[in-house]
Amino acid sequence: MRASQDDFENAMNQVKLLKKDPGNEVKLKLYALYKQATEGPCNMPKPGVFDFINKAKWDAWNALGSLPKETARQNYVDLVSSLSSSSESSSQGKPGADREQQEYENLVVTSEDGITKIMFNRPTRKNAISTQMYQEIMLALKAASKDDSTITVVTGNGDYYSSGNDLANFTDIPPGGVEEKAKQSAIMLRDFVDTFIDFPKPLIAVVNGPAVGISVTTLGLFDAVYASDKATFHTPFSHLGLSPEGCASYTFPKIMGPAKATEMLIFGKKLTAREACAQGLVTEVFPDSTFQKEVWTRLKAYSKLPQNSMRISKQVIRKIEKEKLHAVNAEECSVLQKRWLSDECMNATMNFLSKRSKL
Ligand SMILES: CCCCCCCCCC/C=C/CC(=O)SCCNC(=O)CCNC(=O)[C@H](O)C(C)(C)COP(=O)(O)OP(=O)(O)OC[C@H]1O[C@@H](n2cnc3c(N)ncnc32)[C@H](O)[C@@H]1OP(=O)(O)O
């Protein structure tokens, strides 16, 4: 049976009630089907290459070619119905740790043996951090800060720890325009980094593979960093027309001295795990073949240490720096808000997204 106009309008209302953001790809598909169903084939002029968001929308609509309006309407209704049922089934979680796992689309969070493990889980994108993933990491850290585990571990699924900020975050421009997006992103980034600064328990990074950008800078806010010898540490900010975040403008010179920090943060020098360990950014390096076994054996032993003592010791060690770190974070985000709008940054992002350049 063909979808009626009523079915179509119901589906449009259902989209607004979805519990989970369906992601940019699906949103583009919905947009395209909606336009095709209401206006027919795309007859608008193609937007310019710098107009990322409108170009993506135009591409999606144009790709539907001469699909009949009725079929587009039916496809729209079917797509919304599949999204509604998957969002319902994912909200009917089981109690306890299982439910916690189902709440995240881009993370796997587990709690066992006094350890809460937050694992980045977008291995096909090298664990690049999407806007939704920033929110999920904040939620997972806030939950871990209150749960009964003694230590919290952050790691990556697959061959990468994380390739840093998902460069597609630059394309999801809201109706307020790119300046509004930069403003919102600066607020989000500040909250994100504040969550690490304020984290009350021992926070440990298990760096299973290469780390890029924000996944490296935030390491300066962890209490211990264990790395596989396959890991590398890369902050290519100048290559991307960016500047440091994650408090690295303060923590890196403090950890490794200004000269070595300059090589990383300004010249984008990539460090091996052993080099990062020699500079003090990494606590210890393990051969990749025994990495998981050795690290988890050690972490299980640490997790049995008295919880309050560890928490209080962290507080004593970090207290004197906290105010400074919040001020540094605020300043870095305000500088970045302007950087994101620069030609240098826009060109570098566009080059990556159009597959002309890699790091
Ligand atoms: C208007 C303002 C908006 C601002 C919004 C920002 C908000 C917060 C900002 C916080 C700031 C953070 C700074 C940073 O983190 S800078 C670092 C950014 N990261 C990168 O530049 C890495 C880019 N990726 C690469 O260079 C390479 O992918 C790689 C990591 C070296 C791996 O190369 P390899 O050949 O092994 O693998 P592929 O390239 O084939 O990767 C597989 C697929 O994954 C996609 N991918 C990987 N990393 C990213 C990424 N960071 N962003 C988006 N997509 C990524 C890659 O494109 C492949 O996709 P495909 O299969 O579709 O081709």
Residue 100 binned pLDDT confidence (cut-offs 50, 70, 90): very low
Euclidean distance between CA atoms 300 and 68, whole angstroms: 60
Q: How far is the CA of 166 from the centre of ligand 1 (A)?
A: 5
Lowest mean pLDDT of 5-14, 36-45, 183-192, 226-235, name the range: 5-14
2, two tokens:
């063909």
Helix axes 178-197, 307-339, angle to 10 degrees: 160
Q: How far is the CA of 187 from the centre of ligand 1 (A)?
A: 21
Euclidean distance between CA atoms 349 and 351, whole angstroms: 5
- Within 6 A (CB) of ligand 1 lie 125-126, 128, 163-170, 178, 181-182, 185, 189, 212-214, 240, 242, 245, 340, 352, 358-359
Give me the domains of the chain, ranges plus CATH numbers.
5-84 (1.20.80.10), 112-324 (3.90.226.10)
**What number is the average pLDDT over the span 242-267?**
98
Going from the C-alpha of 337 to that of each of 107, 150, 168, 176, the distances in angstroms are: 27, 36, 17, 15
Averaged confidence pLDDT in the chain: 91
Q: Which of 165, 187, 219 to mutate to test the pocket of ligand 1 (most atoms within 8 A of CB)?
A: 165
- Per-residue pLDDT of 150-207, as tens digits, reads 999 999 999 999 999 999 999 888 888 999 999 999 999 999 999 999 999 999 999 9
pLDDT of 98 > 60? The answer is no
CB 23 within 8 A of CB 66: no
Which residue in 242, 237, 193 sits closest to 341, CA to CA? Answer: 242
How do 151-156 and 271-272 pair as beta strands?
unpaired
Q: Which atom of ligand 1 is nearest to the CA of 234?
A: 17
pLDDT of 125 > 90? The answer is yes
- Per-residue pLDDT of 257-283, as tens digits, reads 999 999 999 999 999 999 999 999 999
pLDDT at 86: 66
pLDDT of 99 > 80? The answer is no
16, two tokens:
């607004």
User: DSSP 3-state assignment of 133?
Assistant: helix
pTM over 0.95: no
Going from the C-alpha of 208 to that of each of 5, 211, 216, 312, 356, the distances in angstroms are: 52, 9, 13, 29, 28
Q: How far is the CA of 169 from the centre of ligand 1 (A)?
A: 10
Q: Which atom of ligand 1 is nearest to the CA of 131?
A: 7
